[in-house]
Amino acid sequence: MRDRLFAKVRETIEALRETIRHHAARYHRDDDPEISDAEYDALVRQLEALEQAHPEHAGGASPTAEVGASPSGLFAPVTHASRMFSLDNAISDDDMAAWDQRLARSLGHAPSGYTCELKIDGLAIALTYERGRLVLGATRGDGTTGEDVTANLRAVAAIPARLRGDAPAVLEVRGEVYMPTSAFVALNRRQADADARLFANPRNAAAGSVRQKDAAVTASRDLSIWIYQLGRLEGGPSLASHWDTLDYLASLGFAKNPATARVADVAQAMAYVRNAQRERASRPYQTDGVVVKLDVLDEQRELGFTAKAPRWAIAFKFPPEEQVTRLRDIQINIGRTGAATPFAVLDPVFVGGATVGMATLHNADEVARKDVRIGDWVIVRRAGDVIPEVVGPVLARRDGSETLWQMPTVCPSCASPIVRGSGEKVARCTGGFACRSRLREYVFHFASRGAMDIEGMGYRTVDTLLELGHLATPADIFFLQPEALLGVEGWGETSVNKLMAAIDRARARPLTNVLVGLGIRHVGASASRLLALRYLDLRMVLEAPEPELAAIDGIGPVSAAALRQWASEADNVALVQRLLEGGVVARDPAPAGERSDRLAGLSIVVTGSLVGFTREQAEAAILAGGGKVGSSVSKKTAAVVVGAAPGSKLAKAQQLGVPVLDEDGFVRLLAAGPSVLARPAPSASEPA
Ligand code: IVH
């Protein structure tokens, strides 16, 4: 019995070790992990616990005492002058308090203070400088032997080829190469366009970009670096703290991360952690935790290292933003334009600080491109407040039982055909407002802020009204009678009156808001504003000929065509008609001065601030005169109107010989037309 148990424990430990080694190699060597970081950490914790509980089996090589994975053989091996350690992890306040107490016990007194740094989610590297020149750049590898990637690292702009100032004889620094999130998104877009392999996350993209045979490829990738540790220093100053070390490195040309902070104790370190977690989503690069380091170097030396990590530092890991779970089904959602968007129905999983049961799959092409199948294990990502998404399948976990998905041909909500036009990325429900899913989204958008701004008309109210059968089109909002809601559960006289008043206020919304509310494709907030300024009246906008629309600066042919198309559809004609019948004004008061054609064909640019006009009023006056509002100065610009504190557009105008007008000149131009431009400009080149 005892023997059997003994063998079982031994087997479990060996199996875990093998699994962990496999995943470590996928992560470190291949840059292509199969499981999430959190799952990996959980495996390591499990193994650590077993090894601790059964010290009789703890002997032999174990990943709990190893760092990373052996090099791949793609690059020349480099033996690190001193081992590149990993870090022990903490995931709770208790872990941190226990660590702090361990330090206090070992030191015999409370630690003198900590430096807190962001844990950058990238690729660890070591840079060696001799007499100020970069001579070697290496990956971490297994901590003892890394890979020589010097040529590639020379292509990273933030890595100085020469140190600034008084360079020491030998310097080795360690840091994390990373790819800013925006660069990662852009890179994947380019990869997709080229039908090339997509990177799962910025970390893999950074690692893949550094571990390239061709340094030109690395150079084409937007990489950066934060340095967080001194490896070796000969012929430099003597340093007393980690904080001073970072300052010293900054003086040599390695930027110190501005988020780095020195704190007095573990309570302050935890406050730093919470703040770093709050700001995580708004940072331009990925962080996966906070590294807390004992600040005083003498105290660090006293504590030393375990087999794997320094005792004087710890990594507090944020809750994972990626997890692996089972994809149970793919369903579609009909949006306000009728677009059918597939989404994943998942086994609920805790990711990025929330439980996720659904995630977007964007469109049918994405489902095909990512090759996700029903029944797959998939990586789910949720960063900050971002909508959770399915990153891709874990191919290694397929067993053949998975099934391919296809866009349904019939709308699940209204049973109308779902059609995908040729050249279109999205499929759409053809049910129009008869599709309840679509109507719900449309009304919600129509009533939202920036559009008709009807307070209280959120999803709950929209659902109630749909349920009661009071909405067949969005315009029905304006025919709603108080009796329709009075007596309905949750609705009293006060709340009904409030809603009716909000609806009434919405009737007078400016034309821009009405246009935004209509949700015409390719006509967003700024195009809506331009159209409102130019036409002042919804009917004028909808009747304007396409070339005229396309000629408006900032509108262009795509929006113009979309607008004409929209205005020609029967559903939309009826919608506008009913909105007007319901009392929606959809007309803006004419700006000061009547409409004319005095400025027809003239593109006029305004720069700096005027006294008698806001920017919008100035633009409205130009548009009301039939002119175009230019956004940049070219030889075709008829005039540049210059107010106080003008931008570079004034210089550009002078350089190109474009007429420059001050505010008085502008007023004359509005009143008299282009004849004003023929005469020498008044002293406008030196505006007040
Ligand atoms: S210090 C001896 N500081 O996290 C101390 N590491 O999980 C060595 N990392 O291998 C590490 N940001 O790749 C340190 N501010 C930071 C870090 C950081 C990211 C990485 C590094 C390390 C891994 C450990």
pLDDT in tens, 519-544: 999 998 888 988 998 888 999 999 99
Q: Is the confidence at residue 320, as pLDDT, over 90?
A: no
Q: Is the confidence at residue 176, as pLDDT, over 80?
A: yes
Closest atom of ligand 1 to CA, residue 305: 2
Q: Is the confidence at residue 340, as pLDDT, over 80?
A: yes
220 Cα–ligand 1 center, Å: 26
What is the mean predicted confidence (pLDDT) over 128-145?
95
Which residue has the least CA distance to atom 3 on ligand 1? Answer: 228
pLDDT of residue 683: 44
87 Cα–ligand 1 center, Å: 7
Residue 660 bridge partners (DSSP) = 640
Which residue has the least CA distance to atom 16 on ligand 1? Answer: 119
Whose CA is closest to 636, among 652, 624, 623? 652
For ligand 1, whether the C-beta of 670 sits within 6 Å is: no
pLDDT of residue 161: 94
Q: Is the confidence at residue 69, as pLDDT, over 80?
A: no
- Is the separation of the CB atoms in 332 and 408 below 8 Å? yes
140 Cα–ligand 1 center, Å: 11
Closest atom of ligand 1 to CA, residue 124: 13
- Is the separation of the CB atoms in 475 and 503 below 8 Å? no
- Is the separation of the CB atoms in 606 and 632 below 8 Å? no
**Would you place residue 362 in the very low, low, confident or very high pLDDT band (cuts 50, 70, 90)?**
confident
pLDDT of residue 387: 82
**Would you place residue 111 in the very low, low, confident or very high pLDDT band (cuts 50, 70, 90)?**
very high
Which residue has the least CA distance to atom 21 on ligand 1? Answer: 124
Q: Per residue in 619-677, pLDDT tens? A: 888 988 888 888 889 999 999 999 988 888 999 999 999 999 998 889 889 888 888 88
- Cα atoms in the 13 Å half-sphere on the side-chain side of 614: 5
**Would you place residue 682 in the very low, low, confident or very high pLDDT band (cuts 50, 70, 90)?**
very low
What is the mean predicted confidence (pLDDT) over 489-508?
95
Q: Is the confidence at residue 52, as pLDDT, over 80?
A: no
Spatial distance between the Cα atoms of 542 and 184, rounded to a whole number of angstroms? 41
The pick from 83, 118, 119 for probing ligand 1's pocket by mutation, whose C-beta has the most ligand atoms within 8 angstroms, reads: 119
Which residue has the least CA distance to atom 22 on ligand 1? Answer: 86
**Would you place residue 330 in the very low, low, confident or very high pLDDT band (cuts 50, 70, 90)?**
very high
For ligand 1, whether the C-beta of 310 sits within 6 Å is: yes
Which residue has the least CA distance to atom 23 on ligand 1? Answer: 86
Closest atom of ligand 1 to CA, residue 315: 7
**Would you place residue 238 in the very low, low, confident or very high pLDDT band (cuts 50, 70, 90)?**
very high
The pick from 176, 210, 293 for probing ligand 1's pocket by mutation, whose C-beta has the most ligand atoms within 8 angstroms, reads: 176
Which residue has the least CA distance to atom 10 on ligand 1? Answer: 86
For ligand 1, whether the C-beta of 228 sits within 6 Å is: yes
* Number of CB atoms found within 10 A of residue 87's CB: 19
For ligand 1, whether the C-beta of 124 sits within 6 Å is: yes
Amino acid at 284: P
pLDDT of residue 592: 56
For ligand 1, whether the C-beta of 314 sits within 6 Å is: no
pLDDT of residue 685: 41
- Percent share of the chain, pLDDT over 90: 63
Residue where the block lists tokens 């006060």: 494
203 Cα–ligand 1 center, Å: 13
Spatial distance between the Cα atoms of 467 and 358, rounded to a whole number of angstroms? 25
Closest atom of ligand 1 to CA, residue 67: 10
What is the mean predicted confidence (pLDDT) over 561-577?
96
For ligand 1, whether the C-beta of 288 sits within 6 Å is: no
Spatial distance between the Cα atoms of 338 and 563, rounded to a whole number of angstroms? 17
188 Cα–ligand 1 center, Å: 26
For ligand 1, whether the C-beta of 315 sits within 6 Å is: yes
For ligand 1, whether the C-beta of 276 sits within 6 Å is: no
| Assigned token pair, 433 | 């407002």
Spatial distance between the Cα atoms of 115 and 313, rounded to a whole number of angstroms? 9
The DSSP code sequence of 179-245 is: --HHHHHHHHHHHHHTTPPPPSSHHHHHHHHHS-S-HHHHHHS--EEEEEEEEEEESS----BHHHH
**Would you place residue 434 in the very low, low, confident or very high pLDDT band (cuts 50, 70, 90)?**
very high
Report the mean per-residue pLDDT for the chain.
89
**Would you place residue 385 in the very low, low, confident or very high pLDDT band (cuts 50, 70, 90)?**
low
For ligand 1, whether the C-beta of 541 sits within 6 Å is: no
For ligand 1, whether the C-beta of 316 sits within 6 Å is: no
- What are the start-end ranges of the E strands in 71-201? 77-79, 89-90, 114-120, 123-130, 133-139, 145-147, 170-178
174 Cα–ligand 1 center, Å: 9
For ligand 1, whether the C-beta of 68 sits within 6 Å is: no
Q: Per residue in 241-269, pLDDT tens? A: 999 999 999 999 999 999 999 999 999 99
pLDDT of residue 687: 39
The pick from 86, 224, 303 for probing ligand 1's pocket by mutation, whose C-beta has the most ligand atoms within 8 angstroms, reads: 86
Spatial distance between the Cα atoms of 517 and 441, rounded to a whole number of angstroms? 11
229 Cα–ligand 1 center, Å: 8
Per the model's pLDDT, the better-predicted residue between 71 and 130 turns out to be 130
- Which of 8, 119, 635, 636 is catalytic? The answer is 119
For ligand 1, whether the C-beta of 313 sits within 6 Å is: yes
Sign, CA dihedral 207-208-209-214, equals: positive
What is the mean predicted confidence (pLDDT) over 546-572?
92
The pick from 28, 84, 87, 120 for probing ligand 1's pocket by mutation, whose C-beta has the most ligand atoms within 8 angstroms, reads: 87
Exposed e or buried b per residue across 630-650, where buried means at least 16 C-beta atoms within 10 angstroms of its C-beta: beebeeebbbbbbbeebeebb
86 Cα–ligand 1 center, Å: 7
Exposed e or buried b per residue across 527-538, where buried means at least 16 C-beta atoms within 10 angstroms of its C-beta: bbbbbbbbbbeb
- Is the separation of the CB atoms in 124 and 174 below 8 Å? yes
Which residue has the least CA distance to atom 13 on ligand 1? Answer: 124
84 Cα–ligand 1 center, Å: 9
119 Cα–ligand 1 center, Å: 6
Is residue 8 annotated as a catalytic residue, yes or no?
Answer: no
| Assigned token pair, 307 | 């087999």
- Cα atoms in the 13 Å half-sphere on the side-chain side of 478: 22
Which DSSP letter does residue 26 get?
I
Q: Is the confidence at residue 681, as pLDDT, over 70?
A: no
pLDDT of residue 688: 34
Per the model's pLDDT, the better-predicted residue between 13 and 434 turns out to be 434
pLDDT of residue 5: 66
- Is the separation of the CB atoms in 160 and 183 below 8 Å? no
611 Cα–ligand 1 center, Å: 55
pLDDT of residue 305: 94
pLDDT of residue 686: 38
42 Cα–ligand 1 center, Å: 19
What is the mean predicted confidence (pLDDT) over 150-162?
94
Q: What is each CA distance from 367 to 35, 97, 193, 337, 406, in whole angstroms?
A: 20, 45, 16, 20, 9
The pick from 172, 291, 294 for probing ligand 1's pocket by mutation, whose C-beta has the most ligand atoms within 8 angstroms, reads: 291
What is the mean predicted confidence (pLDDT) over 199-213?
88
Kindly tell me the burial class for residue 177, based on how many C-beta atoms sit within 10 Å of its own C-beta (0-12, 13-18, 19 or more). buried
